Amino acid sequence: MSLKIFPSILSADLSNLREEVKKLDLAGADSIHIDVMDGCFVPNLTFGPPVIASIRKYTDLPFDVHLMIQEPSRYIKEYVDAGADYITVHLESETHIVSLLDKIRNYGVKAGISIVPSTTCNDLEYIMDHIDVILIMTVNPGFSGQKFLHSQLPKIHKVKKMIGTKNIKIFVDGGINGDTVKFIRHSGVDAVISGSYIFSSSDYQSNINTLKMSLDKLG
């Protein structure tokens, strides 16, 4: 199975997102990753539902929306209505995390849980029947362009073992480029999220293809 590439538009030209999304579609992206930050849960402020809705009409690619916000349960419907196909939240963002995950799925959207570098795999055990995606952060969330944390590699293998035969996808986000992608070889990852690397030149297709070829060879 070919591993998928999800460009993160946090690193795109934010003044021209309509064209950026179109270019990613033509370049062979498998999904658009959208980092939503509220300036409270993480120290940055980015997109909200109006921005997501405004670019939804320019591509049929799935929207993978990563909510790095406090109390995301208050806003799930807005992100569903804006066009999210996946909604990923953090364990630490809500007290009643199972209710939140079930709420996402009840809208017909895939529910994901993100684990930051300081979160252990043990924290996933009681929610495994309520999620479709586990997003493993290989950087500390909040800003693009950070370096890949090699300390998180054992976590990827542990999560894969925990999943077993369950239909749960593993996404990896943080510091993914043509060099670091080799470190997730044989790890069972389904998709990688890359921002700074893909947008480091105007040839998005070449950068996406480099990642895909590397992943196919190493996976």
- The ranges assigned to domains in the chain are 4-218
102 is catalytic: no
Q: Which residue out of 30, 64, 132, 173 is catalytically annotated?
A: 173
**How would you write the pLDDT of the chain (219 residues) with one tens digit per residue?**
578 999 999 999 999 999 999 999 999 999 999 999 998 888 888 999 999 999 999 999 999 999 999 999 999 999 999 999 999 999 888 989 999 999 999 999 999 999 999 888 988 999 999 999 999 999 887 666 678 888 899 999 999 999 999 999 999 998 899 888 888 867 789 999 999 999 999 999 999 998 887 655 544
108 is in an annotated binding site: no
Out of 3.40.50.620, 3.30.300.30, 3.20.20.70, 3.30.1330.10, select the CATH number for domain 4-218: 3.20.20.70
47 is in an annotated binding site: no
25 is catalytic: no
Distance of CA 91 to the CA centre of its chain: 15
48 is in an annotated binding site: no
28 is in an annotated binding site: no
